[in-house]
Structure 1
Amino acid sequence: MAAALATCDMATVIEGVRSARGWSQGELARAAGYSQSWVSRVVNGQQSLTVDQIQDVARRLGVPLHLLRLGGAPSEEGPAPRGPGRTKGVDLTRRRDFGRAVAAGALLTVGGRPEHAEETAVDESTAPALRTITSGQRRMDATSSARHLLPGAAAHVHLSEQMLMNARGTPFGTDLCAAASEASGFAAWLHTDQGSIDKARTHYRNAVFRARQSRTRLLDVYMLGSLAAFEIDEAGSPELGLALVREAEHLLGRSAHPTARAWLSCTGALAHAGVGDGEAAARAIRRAEQEVDRPGNTDPPWPWVFAFDHTKVAGFRARVGVRLHRPEEARKAFEEAHTQRPASAKQAALLQVELASVHLDSGEVEEAFRLAGDALSTGLRFESRRLVSRVRSFRRAYRGPDARCVDGLDRRLGALVRGPGTG
């Protein structure tokens, strides 16, 4: 490490951190939030890092950011010129400085508690306090724009990771890993609502990684299943989602709580429907219904809040019917699912778009576009890019003749592209 500091060999510094912590290169990649191939290129000296990447990797590896004297803001002399010897945002002549900073942080963290841990000490109350913050943010999500919640959620993720770093060498690490996992999972949810797919995926992966470090099997399963649902519904990768569901099912085991197994089976049903396997989707739904009927399906385990019941299964059955273009099955399931009000207006609007697709498949164009228009109004009110994107996808799927309801939705979507004051 001393030789790496002297020569500013960042590849050796990062490899030294990996070796000191006993990680494989894959574990290092998961901790850093990048692909294993990217980490391999860094370690082999084939990939240089920008300031943003250094800060991101350092935060994820537990290196105190206050040690990174990168000078990211423009200096008093003005912005540095572009040209040989410089990369975007990084003056290569200053690599020695941030080489020392990263390595110094690594040396502090791999050996135990950070040097400045006494300034932000952790105890048995720290993890519950962090979880309380996450719970409060989740409650506000039902009535607030994700855009307004994101800055606070991002700061909370940073705080959780800082507290986790300070907990090294204490008995509170596993609890703080769980708290950090929850914080990252919620940040991923908000980024999904804002259409930031790459950022959402990064936070979900970190949530899985921290859940695994917490040694909390149900939290690990929950975050894996949440990542699977994200890949299925938002990233358009049902095959990857199905693989994640299978990994979560293997981890969960056959003796787990019925709510956990029913939820995971329903998520798997969506993945099967996404790849067009109706029979496998139906089997997964039947398994979920059997789990719901089990006598022990009460008092759901953390992190589930409510027991999974037949109404929730019906909602998934309806979404499966939409994906398989079976409008009658979907319509009946939606009628059963609507006996229970969705938890938030945004969730209700997402279901409205799904139901609109059912009416479209049934030839009920006016009702379909009415539902889509209502969902668009909710999306605009909450500034939800995900909702607006779902309505746009619904519109693209319509290939029928023009109608007043179609023109009305087109005008509203067009105004979003042109901006205010151009209609």
Structure 2
Amino acid sequence: MIEPARKGRQMTQAALGQSLGTSQSAVSRLEEHGQASYSTDVLAAAAARLRIPSALAGPADGRTAQVQIQVQVRGDDPMHRRTVLGGTLAAMAALLLSAVPEPRDTTGGQAAALRLTTGAYRRLDGTTPSRDLADAVEGHIRLIQTITRTATSDAGRARLAAVGSEAASFAGWLACDKGDHGSARSWYGGAVKAARTAHNPLLTAYQIGTLAQFEAHAGNGVEALNLARRARRVLGAQRPAVAEAWLLTVEASGTRWPATGAGRTGP
């Protein structure tokens, strides 16, 4: 997480270390992909400096002086599957989404309030079963759609469409976690459509990449790779380094999962 975010800001390890009041070697330890111990205080400071939410940067709460991150593959264990999809890969996706600029809200704070609600539901996902969240999130999406229809300006509708895209993507994740691949594919497709309505290339590419990530997990590796390439085309040659890093993880997952066609219920 630290390395692509730093490179996306065109910072060297030495420059980041200097801004944190630490050394280049300390930053290097953060970027060794779990192969070294590091100070959680430095991790928290680096996450804040690079505007990475601390929850996405690992154990950066400062309660443990030194931590050792180890990743163990556990096959088809359902809790491991949720950890991988909701954590490791989705964390990169969330980092990309956090890079989407937040335009000034001129619609009475509606878009900002709705986005905060989506964020609250996402935080609940870590401790609440997906089946218990799904109905509430779908009601939240209906409210977003209603408010969007009553927006009086193109700019307001675009902002609300972006909020709707984020909420639909989360609904897709919940459906996927419940094993309802047909609904998940529909929600993810709706998220892509709403992102296009918002005229936001970065958000559109993120949602296409999220759909690719889902297809990879469903065993549709070829479709996943095609969607990842499509996301690259949306961003163009000047795509941020963090976007490229995330898309590489999506492509890697597309080649990793067996092409079983599990849950393939739609075109």
What TM-score results when the alignment is normalised by the length of structure 1? 0.35
Which stretches in structure 2 are left out of the alignment for 5+ residues?
1-105
Q: Distance in 2 between matches of 1:274 and 1:145?
A: 25
Q: Distance in 1 between matches of 2:258 and 2:179?
A: 23
Matched, 1:130 2:118: no
**Residues 383-402 of structure 1 mapped to structure 2, 5 A cutoff:** none
Structure 2 match to 1:240: 223
Identity across the alignment (%):
34
Matched, 1:270 2:259: no
Q: 2:207 aligns with which of 223, 245, 254?
A: 223
Which stretches in structure 1 are left out of the alignment for 5+ residues?
1-121, 277-388, 390-423
Q: Distance in 1 between matches of 2:243 and 2:118?
A: 21
Structure 1 match to 2:234: 251
Larger radius of gyration: 1
Deviation for aligned residue 1:192: 0.7
**Residues 81-100 of structure 1 mapped to structure 2, 5 A cutoff:** none
Matched, 1:203 2:187: yes
Deviation for aligned residue 1:169: 4.3
Taking structure 1 as reference, are residues 257 and 170 closer, same or farther at Cα in structure 2, changes over 3 Å only? Answer: closer
Structure 1 match to 2:139: 155
Structure 2 match to 1:298: none
Taking structure 1 as reference, are residues 219 and 170 closer, same or farther at Cα in structure 2, changes over 3 Å only? Answer: closer
Q: Deviations over 1:240-299 (max 9, x none)?
A: 1111001001112232221111000111122234479xxxxxxxxxxxxxxxxxxxxxxx
Deviation for aligned residue 1:225: 0.4
Q: Distance in 2 between matches of 1:193 and 1:142?
A: 12
Q: Does the 8 A contact of 1:191 with 1:200 survive in 2?
A: yes
SS at match of 2:226: helix
Aligned residue identity for 2:110: T
Taking structure 1 as reference, are residues 168 and 209 closer, same or farther at Cα in structure 2, changes over 3 Å only? Answer: farther
Tell me how many residue pairs correspond in the alignment: 157
Aligned residue identity for 1:152: A
Q: Distance in 1 between matches of 2:233 and 2:196?
A: 14
Aligned residue identity for 1:256: R
Q: Does the 8 A contact of 1:185 with 1:207 survive in 2?
A: yes
SS at match of 1:244: helix
Q: Distance in 2 between matches of 1:201 and 1:272?
A: 20
What TM-score results when the alignment is normalised by the length of structure 2? 0.55
Taking structure 1 as reference, are residues 170 and 212 closer, same or farther at Cα in structure 2, changes over 3 Å only? Answer: closer
Aligned residue identity for 2:191: A
RMSD in angstroms over aligned alpha carbons? Answer: 2.3
Q: Deviations over 1:10-42 (max 9, x none)?
A: xxxxxxxxxxxxxxxxxxxxxxxxxxxxxxxxx
Deviation for aligned residue 1:216: 1.1
Structure 1 match to 2:160: 176
Deviation for aligned residue 1:168: 4.9
Q: Distance in 1 between matches of 2:154 and 2:221?
A: 41
Taking structure 1 as reference, are residues 275 and 248 closer, same or farther at Cα in structure 2, changes over 3 Å only? Answer: farther
Q: Does the 8 A contact of 1:150 with 1:190 survive in 2?
A: yes
Q: Distance in 1 between matches of 2:216 and 2:155?
A: 37
Q: Deviations over 1:143-184 (max 9, x none)?
A: 111111111101011111111111154530110010000110
Aligned residue identity for 1:217: P
Structure 1 match to 2:95: none
SS at match of 1:215: coil
